[in-house]
Structure 1
Amino acid sequence: MRETWEETGIALGRIAAGRLQPDLSGLTYLCRAITPADSPVRFHARFFARDVTGLPFELGGSGELLDLAFRPLPAARALPLADITEFILDLLAGLGPDLVPDRLPFWRYRSGKPLIRWANP
């Protein structure tokens, strides 16, 4: 939540005395992913979605992210992306307006190839 606020300017919660008090109520869990074991930088990430329509914010942030913008999913999907990012965008494109998936993926790698295990929410 803090990272989202710092890097995009979108506060998912209330800001009091310059600190974010997170509100998790609008988040939908989408996916868990782990980078390959041979990667020099490892991540064990969880992906969430939230409709930010109506939230007051000015898209901006710390400057850590380059080319920060809202894009339609087809335009975002056309960018050069990591395979997990492509997968998440495709997952989002298939969701209804409630952003709730009917199955939850766990993305990891085996022998250098993505391996996805699906589970019911």
Structure 2
Amino acid sequence: MASNSDLSISCADPLLTEAQAAHLLALKQTTLQQWRIRGTGPAYIKLGAAAVRYRRSTLETWLNDRTVHSTVDDVPQRIREAAFAQAGGGFTTAASYRAGLPLAGSPAAALAMAADEGARA
């Protein structure tokens, strides 16, 4: 039997039905269903053959992990790296772009390395 402390934990982080989770995320239930089929979307709990629940904290974390600050952040890193490498160099991530750090192996990185070695000589 669950103790009172176990019950208070579950009340603090309630399990939401698919309909409640969809409402919280401002999505259709069918979107959540498709994401589960594809293996994407927020993690869920399977309670039976058809009973699916979502932890509220999991949904909030999932949303927070998808917050972007610019369109550069919205493009997957592998696509950015491929595009910059194809163009002859560039930056690996939005953070390195803002910091001015060149893509390893790019012409800009080679120049930076040469300048650093020259400064040490």
Is the structural similarity TM-score above 0.5?
no
Q: Which has the higher contact order (CA 8 A, sep 6+)?
A: 1
Whose helix fraction is larger, Structure 1's or Structure 2's? 2
Whichever of the two has the greater Rg, that structure is: 2
Q: Return the TM-score normalized by structure 2.
A: 0.21
Whose strand fraction is larger, Structure 1's or Structure 2's? 1
Q: Return the TM-score normalized by structure 1.
A: 0.21
